[in-house]
């Protein structure tokens, strides 16, 4: 997995952390969220952080499991072999922080759109139809 793919995975998981770690201690959730946010920021600045991100994800079984689900080829996840070509699985509507420091993909309509964990700003739907 290259650096760009690892950063995208980390961003996706950061948005899901509250639901994935809901049974964990609140302090632990905050620590993991903060560490992941720091690694993402450093990675976007050009630092090589792939190994640190993967170590963090391996440290939590639920994060490791979800990361594996996200990176598995579609044929392994669903048993269906996709047609050839550059097809991507849609991630769902993307909500972004107006300050550009957080993104959230809404997987279904029952999922509430959170506020930005960094500055509390309301997230905005990107490219509304």
Spatial distance between the Cα atoms of 90 and 51, rounded to a whole number of angstroms:
27
- Phi-psi sector, 46: left (phi>0), alpha (psi -120 to 50), beta: left
| pTM for the structure as a whole | 0.56
Q: Contact 86/58 with Cβ under 8 angstroms?
A: no
With cut-offs at 50, 70 and 90, classify the pLDDT of residue 1: low
Q: What is the pLDDT of residues 3-33, one digit of tens each?
A: 888 888 898 888 888 888 765 566 677 788 8
Taking 90 as the threshold, does the pLDDT of residue 125 lie above it? yes
Residue pair 104/98 in contact by the 8 Å Cβ criterion = no
pLDDT of residue 109: 87
Whole-angstrom distance, CA of residue 62 vs CA of residue 106: 19
Task: Give the tens place of pLDDT for each residue, 46-101.
Answer: 999 999 999 998 888 888 888 888 887 655 656 666 566 665 666 789 999 999 88
Q: Are 13 and 57 in contact (CB under 8 A)?
A: yes
Contacts of 94 (CB under 8 A, 6+ apart): 103, 104, 105, 106, 125, 126, 127
In the chain, where the domains are located: 1-85, 90-129
Mean pLDDT of 35-43: 92
Q: Could you tell me the CA-to-CA distances from 53 to 15, 37, 50, 100 in Å, in that order?
A: 15, 10, 5, 21
Q: What is the pLDDT of residue 122?
A: 95
């Amino acid at each position: 997995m290259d650096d760009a793919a690892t950063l995208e995975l980390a961003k996706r998981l950061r948005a899901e952390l509250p639901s994935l770690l809901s049974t964990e201690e609140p302090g632990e959730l905050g620590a993991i969220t903060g560490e992941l946010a720091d690694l993402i920021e450093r990675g976007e600045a050009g630092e090589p952080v792939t190994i640190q991100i993967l170590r963090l994800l391996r440290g939590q079984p639920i994060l490791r499991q979800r990361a594996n689900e996200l990176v598995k080829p579609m044929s392994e996840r669903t048993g269906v072999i996709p047609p050839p070509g550059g097809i991507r699985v849609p991630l769902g509507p993307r909500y972004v922080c107006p300050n550009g420091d957080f993104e959230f993909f809404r997987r279904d309509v029952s999922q509430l759109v959170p506020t930005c964990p960094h500055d509390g700003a309301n997230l905005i739907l990107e490219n509304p139809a």
